């Protein structure tokens, strides 16, 4: 328990990482705390620190145990040292400058041509396709974490009326496809097998390795979707592809 | 599948960019040490059946990791030696004798796409290494070093230099030390016993992303859904059907299956050399053991690197051989 009021537990992830777990849940306040701690630790890394990885409700710290052991008292394991260092960092209540949350409006074509699972989802939820689209486009989502694929945003929370578990078998999914899994929504940055229910496709490039900021979205960003026609999709996609070539 | 890999790409996992890198990082570092490179210089990781390589200039190379019974111009050449090759020499691999992944290092390193401070191939993003993909027939990989001057090498011959690294890859022992993970206690008492007392078989569904294991299903005390969180190389996840999967170099950054344990880093080399059909045993370890074993492994590498630099200097610049 730390004084910020977020109880936590620390687990080892092998011999070169620990995970600070604030509870197995999707919760905005907890995720905000994870992002705060992520920023704090990156501003003031400890010896042997490699990187930090924020997820929904946990923060994982990767470190080099051999390098770290050269700087700590003999007889202490790197694991024990990082564990107590983490506790110390969590005790420190000095507010960190977190980058302001950015807001993105993302165009999505909900045409069934791209939205392979939209009709089935609407049917299962006893809604019209238009209602599903309306519900999906009138919620502001938070990017809780990136993972699975480079630049893949895990966003939430999806309205209960359109939540749907992921498929039991993975399918091949096109880049830009927008999907739903439980109360999460996400966008596939590249063609990939995947199990999310596909309800639309954005012409925007979520990930571009040739750019310095390769991922369009970051953890903590807010996203709102808006519906576009097939024609708009083609026009924007063409512009995006051209932009990449130049 | 052959790809260019190095020590991995770190610092970008929060963007979903996983570290990639050589599966058997230790073998990769040994190969680099043998040719006098930085330990994490980019090398070619080979899976059997491996590519045939034709050299268009003299070079110093080394093979390490799996033994695929290599030959140059038809004559067998050993692993773990520095080898001087000539223009037009052909390196090929005939049979997978031991292990699953071999490494080819070239003195001076390879010219490859550097993305986020690493030359490792990221197949998902299609970037890094050679055009962001695995090697294909006809590809030309440039060596960073322009021309190797090898006065001792006569025309139309290659030469195995007379020292080798005293390292055994792909040992017969298939025991892997693991540290319990965050969901270790999801296993029932009986499942924990099975985990440490029965063999697990590596299945054909095994690649650079992970190995699926064949085992008697392990029971969990709860099937409560997990929210995705970080995983790493060596993480052993419990699938809903009670089978296990071990994550390898191209693993996703986060996963939602229970993490019952993680293979210690010092045993990643052993893990990376497993192939379909191999049986393995897990044994529980503690952090002190894991860290000390890793420390000794790195110390040994350092010594090997220093010794190789000296040997190479003496050999390359000595007047007569």
Domain that holds residue A170: 103-245
Whether residue A135 is contained in a domain is answered as yes
Residues A54, A21 share a domain: yes
* pLDDT for position B202: 96
Q: Are A146 and A177 in contact (CB under 8 A)?
A: no
Nearest CB neighbour to A19, from listed B10, B18, B182: B182
Q: In terms of residues, how long is chain A?
A: 246
In the three-class reduction of DSSP (H, G, I as helix; E, B as strand; rest coil), residue A77 is classed as coil
**Rg of chain B's alpha carbons, rounded to an integer?**
21
Residue A246 has pLDDT above 60, yes or no: no
The B residues from 292 to 311 touching A (CB cutoff 8 Å) are 294-295, 298
Phi, psi angle pair for B115, to nearest 5°: -125, 125
CA B153 to chain centroid? 30
- Across the A:B interface, residue pairs with CB atoms under 8 Å apart total 147
End position of a domain, from candidates A61, A91, A121: A91
Residue A147's pLDDT is what? 93
Q: Residues of chain A with pLDDT > 70: what percent?
A: 95
**Does residue A119 sit in the same domain as residue A223?**
yes
The complex's ipTM? 0.95
**What average pLDDT does the segment B83-107 reach?**
96
Cβ of residue A39 closer than 8 Å to a chain B Cβ: no
A13 shares its domain with A119: no
What mean pLDDT do residues B96-114 have? 96
Residue B197 DSSP one-character state: H
- For residues A21 and A14, give the distance between their C-alpha atoms in angstroms, rounded to a whole number: 15
| Residue A187 resides in a domain | yes
B124 CB within 8 Å of a chain A CB: yes
Instruction: For residue B180, give how far its alpha carbon lies from the nearest alpha carbon of chain A (Å).
Output: 8
More confident residue, B319 or B252: B252
Task: Select the more confidently predicted residue: B226 or B84.
Answer: B84
Q: Distance (Å, rounded) from C-alpha A91 to C-alpha A54?
A: 18
Our CA-based measurement puts residue A149 at a distance from the nearest CA of chain B, in whole angstroms, of 5
Same structural domain for residues A81 and A115? no
More confident residue, A184 or A242: A184
CB B179 within 8 A of CB B287: yes
Mean pLDDT of all residues belonging to chain B: 94
C-alpha to C-alpha distances, A115 to A12, A75, A197, B51, nearest whole angstrom: 41, 58, 9, 41
Indicate if the pLDDT at residue B119 is higher than 50: yes
Q: How many C-beta neighbours within 10 Å does residue B158 have?
A: 21
pLDDT at B106 over 60: yes
Partner residue facing A26 (CB), from B227, B230, B233: B227
Residue A40 shares a structural domain with residue A145: no
Same domain, A164 and A207: yes
B17 touches chain A (CB under 8 A): yes
In a domain, A173, yes or no: yes
- Say if residue B223 is exposed, middle or buried (CB neighbours under 10 Å; 0-12, 13-18, 19+): exposed
**Does any domain span residue A87?**
yes
What does chain B come to in residues? 321
CATH assignment at residue A130: 2.40.100.10
Domain finish residue from A62, A91, A120? A91
Measured distance CA(B308)–CA(A110) in Å, rounded: 61
B10 vs A214: CB contact, 8 Å cut-off? no
Of residues B320 and B59, the one with the higher pLDDT is B59
Q: Is residue A4 part of a domain?
A: no
Distance from CA of A76 to the nearest CA of B (A): 8
Q: Where are the domains of chain B?
A: 3-166, 175-285
**A117 shares its domain with A238:** yes
Q: Tell me the mean pLDDT in the region A155-178.
A: 92
What is the C-alpha to C-alpha distance for residues A70 and A49, in angstroms, rounded to an integer? 13
Last residue of a domain, one of A69, A91, A113: A91
Report CB contact under 8 Å: B124, A190: yes
- Mean pLDDT over B222-251 rounds to 93
Total number of domains constituting chain A: 2
Q: CATH number of the domain that A55 lies in?
A: 3.30.1360.40
Q: Please report, for residues A3, A126, A217, A226, B296, the alpha-carbon distance to residue A50 in angstroms, rounded to integers and kept in the order given.
A: 27, 49, 22, 39, 20
Is A79 close to B295, i.e. CB distance below 8 A?
Answer: no
Which residues does chain A have within 8 Å of residue B229's beta carbon, measured at their own beta carbons?
19, 21, 55-58, 60
Question: Which residues in chain B touch residue A65, judged by CB atoms under 8 angstroms apart?
Answer: 265, 290-291, 294-295
Does the beta-carbon distance from B12 to A51 stay under 8 Å?
yes
For B175-285, CATH gives 2.40.100.10
Structure tokens belonging to residue B282 = 């897990």
Measured between alpha carbons, how far is A80 from A90 in angstroms, rounded to an integer?
A: 16
Q: Where are the alpha helices (DSSP H) in chain A?
A: 28-43, 65-69, 78-91, 118-124, 129-137, 230-245
Report angle CA A159, A215, A229 to the nearest 5 degrees: 55
Residue A4: the pLDDT is 58
Least confident of A88-97, B11-20, B35-44: A88-97
Same domain? A136 vs A87: no
B221 CB neighbour count, 10 Å cutoff: 12
Report the alpha-carbon distance of residue B23 to residue A154 in Å, rounded. 28
* A66 in contact with chain B, both atoms CB, cutoff 8 A: yes
The answer to whether B94 faces chain A, any CB pair under 8 Å, is: no
Residues A127 and A213 in one domain: yes
Give the CA distances from residue B105 to residues A101, A162, B79, B137, B305, in Å, rounded to whole numbers and listed in that order: 45, 53, 11, 19, 14
Give kind and range of the element (H or E) at residue B315.
Answer: helix B287-317
In a domain, A73, yes or no: yes
* Chain B residues 154-213 with CB within 8 Å of chain A: 179-182
Q: Is the dihedral of CA B127, B131, B133, B134 positive or negative?
A: negative
Same domain, A30 and A65: yes
Of the candidates B16, B115, B263, which has its C-beta nearest A146's C-beta?
B16
CB proximity under 8 Å: A 173-192 to B: 189-190, 192
pLDDT of residue A2 exceeding 50, the answer is no
| pLDDT tens for each residue of B237-276 | 999 899 999 999 999 999 889 999 999 999 999 999 999 9
- Model confidence at A1, pLDDT cuts 50, 70, 90, reads very low
Q: Which residue has the tokens 């420390």?
A: B295
Q: What is the pLDDT of residues B183-205, one digit of tens each?
A: 999 999 999 999 999 999 999 99
Is residue A24 over pLDDT 80?
yes
Quick: pLDDT tens for A71-117. 999 999 999 999 999 999 998 877 666 777 899 999 999 999 999 99
Across the interface, whether the CB atoms of A148 and B254 are under 8 A apart is answered yes
User: Does B92 touch chain A if contact means CB atoms closer than 8 Å?
Assistant: no
């Amino acid at each position: 328990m730390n004084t910020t009021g977020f109880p936590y537990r620390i687990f080892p992830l092998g011999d070169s990482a620990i995970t600070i777990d604030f509870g197995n849940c999707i919760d905005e306040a907890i995720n905000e705390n994870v992002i705060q701690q992520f920023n704090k630790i990156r501003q003031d890394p400890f010896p042997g620190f490699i990187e930090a990885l924020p997820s929904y409700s946990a923060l994982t710290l990767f470190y080099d145990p051999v390098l770290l052991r050269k700087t700590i008292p003999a007889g202490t394991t790197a694991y024990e040292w990082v564990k107590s260092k983490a506790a110390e960092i969590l005790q420190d209540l000095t507010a960190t400058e977190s980058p302001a949350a950015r807001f993105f409006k993302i165009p999505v074509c909900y045409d069934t041509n791209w939205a392979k699972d939209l009709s089935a989802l609407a049917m299962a939820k006893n809604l019209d396709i238009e209602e599903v689209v309306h519900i999906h486009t009138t919620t502001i989502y938070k990017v809780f974490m990136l993972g699975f694929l480079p630049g893949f945003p895990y966003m939430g929370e999806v309205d209960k009326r359109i939540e749907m578990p992921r498929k039991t078998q993975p399918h091949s999914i096109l880049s830009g496809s927008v999907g739903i899994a439980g109360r999460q929504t996400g966008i596939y940055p590249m063609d990939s097998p995947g199990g999310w229910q596909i309800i639309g496709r954005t012409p925007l490039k979520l990930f571009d390795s040739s750019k310095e900021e390769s991922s369009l979205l970051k953890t903590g960003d807010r996203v709102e979707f808006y519906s576009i026609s097939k024609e708009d999709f083609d026009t924007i996609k063409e512009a995006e592809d051209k932009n990449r070539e130049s | 599948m052959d790809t260019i890999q190095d020590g991995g790409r770190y610092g970008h996992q929060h963007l979903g960019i996983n570290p990639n890198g050589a599966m058997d990082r230790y073998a990769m570092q040994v190969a680099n040490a043998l040719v006098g490179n930085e330990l994490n210089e980019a090398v070619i990781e080979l899976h059997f059946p491996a590519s045939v390589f034709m050299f268009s200039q003299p070079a110093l190379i080394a093979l390490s990791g799996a033994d695929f019974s290599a030959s140059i111009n038809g004559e067998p050449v050993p692993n773990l030696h520095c080898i001087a090759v000539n223009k037009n020499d052909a390196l090929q691999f005939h049979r997978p004798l031991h292990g699953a992944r071999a490494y080819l290092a070239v003195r001076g390193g390879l010219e490859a796409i550097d993305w986020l401070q690493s030359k490792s191939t990221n197949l998902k993003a299609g970037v890094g290494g050679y055009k962001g993909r695995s090697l294909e027939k006809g590809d030309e990989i440039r060596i960073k070093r322009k021309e190797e001057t090898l006065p001792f090498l006569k025309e139309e011959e290659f030469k195995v230099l007379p020292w080798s690294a005293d390292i055994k890859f792909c040992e017969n022992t298939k025991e892997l030390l693991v540290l319990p993970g965050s969901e270790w206690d999801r296993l029932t008492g009986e499942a924990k016993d099975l985990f440490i007392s029965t063999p697990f078989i590596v299945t054909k569904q095994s690649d650079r992303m992970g190995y699926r294991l064949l085992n008697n299903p392990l029971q969990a005390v709860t099937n409560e859904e997990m929210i995705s969180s970080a995983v790493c190389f060596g993480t052993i996840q419990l699938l809903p059907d009670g089978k296990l999967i071990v994550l390898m170099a191209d693993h996703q950054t986060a996963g939602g299956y229970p993490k019952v344990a993680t293979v210690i880093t010092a045993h990643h080399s052993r893990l990376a050399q497993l192939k379909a059909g191999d049986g393995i045993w897990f044994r529980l370890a503690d952090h002190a053991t894991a860290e000390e074993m890793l420390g000794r492994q790195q110390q040994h590498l350092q010594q090997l690197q220093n010794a190789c630099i000296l040997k190479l200097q003496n050999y390359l610049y000595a007047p007569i051989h």
